[in-house]
Chain A
Amino acid sequence: AQSVTQPDIHITVSEGASLELRCNYSYGATPYLFWYVQSPGQGLQLLLKYFSGDTLVQGIKGFEAEFKRSQSSFNLRKPSVHWSDAAEYFCAVGARSNDYKLSFGAGTTVTVRA
């Protein structure tokens, strides 16, 4: 079965500092990986996705993520955080063999301090 672990429940970062959110997945075949962001009271917005090819993927809002098969990781990064990046971030994994069902991690809450 596919599963996702986000080791960090809560991260606090200063505005302008860099941000890295960790994601580890468990799946036998090549996974399809996603990062979503959820602001309070809102639905999920897709930040970026990895299907195949270049292991460094660029997303919206200045985010990028790197797929590392050897480490079963798909960490999300942003070089310089803005106050508006305060939100909850979810990593998700899917597989064509599992009929495209997405499995989500428990999420990481990001707080941005001035």
Chain B
Amino acid sequence: DAGVTQSPTHLIKTRGQQVTLRCSPKSGHDTVSWYQQALGQGPQFIFQYYEEEERQRGNFPDRFSGHQFPNYSSELNVNALLLGDSALYLCASSLAGGGRFEQYFGPGTRLTVT
């Protein structure tokens, strides 16, 4: 049973560029949440997708957007990259309803903005 997978593992971008990160949820899960973890910090909630719609959003600007596909996989897009966007981006999957609390995390994508 495959767990949550994310790609790429590492990414280096330049300020002003755009980036897309990908996530495949654990088998059987239908909800995907994205978190940003800056160095030395705890993860910060970006948004959550269920039924291909954004259901909940944290305190992140509109430069951060996402998408969920019919197979439940998801993408996180960040436009106009800033140095402060450098972080580990974590994807977590869960089941709708009460199961949404039991979130399984992927290994993350390390984004470096130069």
Establish whether residues B43 and A101, one from each chain, have CB atoms under 8 Å apart when the complex forms.
no
A100's partner among B48, B58, B105, B108 (CB-CB below 8 A) is B48
The segment from A11-19, A42-50, A59-67, A72-80 found at the interface with B is A42-50
Number of residues from B at the complex interface, CB < 8 A: 26
Which residue from A42, A44, A101 sits with its C-beta under 8 Å from B48?
A: A101
User: Which residues of B are at the interface with A, using a C-beta cutoff of 8 A?
Assistant: 4, 33, 35, 40-45, 48, 55-56, 58, 90, 92, 94, 98, 100-108
User: Does A90 contact B48, Cβ atoms closer than 8 Å?
Assistant: no
A54 at the interface (CB under 8 A from B): no
Contact with B along A81-114 (1 / 0, CB 8 A): 0000000001010101011111111110000000
CB atoms of B56 and A99 under 8 A apart: yes
Q: In the complex, given contacts A99-B55, A106-B42, what are 12 additional A-B residue pairs having Cβ atoms less than 8 angstroms apart?
A: A44-B105, A49-B101, A49-B102, A90-B43, A94-B101, A99-B48, A100-B48, A101-B58, A102-B33, A103-B45, A104-B44, A106-B41
Residue numbers in B under 8 Å from A43 (CB-CB): 4, 90, 105-108
Tally A residues with Cβ within 8 Å of B.
Answer: 26
Query: B100 contacts which chain A residues (CB < 8 A)?
Result: 100
A51 and B42 in contact (CB under 8 A), knowing A42-B107, A43-B106, A101-B56? Answer: no
- Contact call A90/B102, Cβ cutoff below 8 A: no
Point out the residues of chain A lying under 8 angstroms from B56, CB to CB: 98-101
A46 touches B103 (CB 8 A): yes
Partner of B90, one of A44, A49, A106, A107: A44
Q: Which residues of B contact A42 (CB under 8 A)?
A: 107-108
Query: Which of B4, B56, B101 has the most CB atoms of chain A within a 10 A radius of its CB?
Result: B101
Kindly state the separation between the CA atoms of A107 and B43 in the bound complex, as whole angstroms: 9
Q: Are B107 and A104 in contact (CB under 8 A)?
A: no
* Closest A residue, CB atoms, query B3: A43
CB contact under 8 A between A100 and B106, given known A90-B42, A105-B42: no
**A95–B41 Cα gap in the complex (Å)?**
21
Quote the shortest CB–CB distance from B31 to chain A (angstroms).
Answer: 8
Contacts of A51 in B (CB 8 A): 101
